[in-house]
Amino acid sequence: MTVIPNTTSTQTLSICDGATHTLPDGATATVTGVYTSHIANAAGCDSTITTNLTVIPNTTSTQTLSICDGATHTFLTAQQQP
């Protein structure tokens, strides 16, 4: 008889605020935390996967400008970097 061991693994991931991550067991996570999933491994035995999830907050910036009367200014769009 062969005894096939259960398996364990850990993954560390980061997502942006507002994003959703699908865990190995199909559950979803949207907040920073440690999540434990239990699924069958390739041999059909128990597998425990620990997911360390970090949610990275969105950033904002403020820009104060002064321009001369009659001058023009081009504002950055969401795709441009300051």
Q: Per residue in 31-60, pLDDT tens?
A: 999 999 999 988 888 999 999 999 999 888
Q: Which two tokens stand for residue 65?
A: 């400008």
This prediction's pTM: 0.69
Which structural domain, as residue segments, surrounds residue 37?
A: 1-82
| 39 or 81, which is more confident | 39
3-state SS class at 16:
strand
Are the CB atoms for 7 and 49 separated by under 8 Å? Answer: no
- The position carrying tokens 């360390």 is 52
Are the CB atoms for 49 and 11 separated by under 8 Å? Answer: yes
Which pLDDT does position 2 carry in this prediction? 86
The answer for 4, left when phi > 0, alpha when psi is -120 to 50, beta otherwise, is beta
Which pLDDT does position 4 carry in this prediction? 84
Q: How many domains does the chain have?
A: 1
Q: Backbone phi, then psi, for 2, in 5-degree steps? A: -110, 130
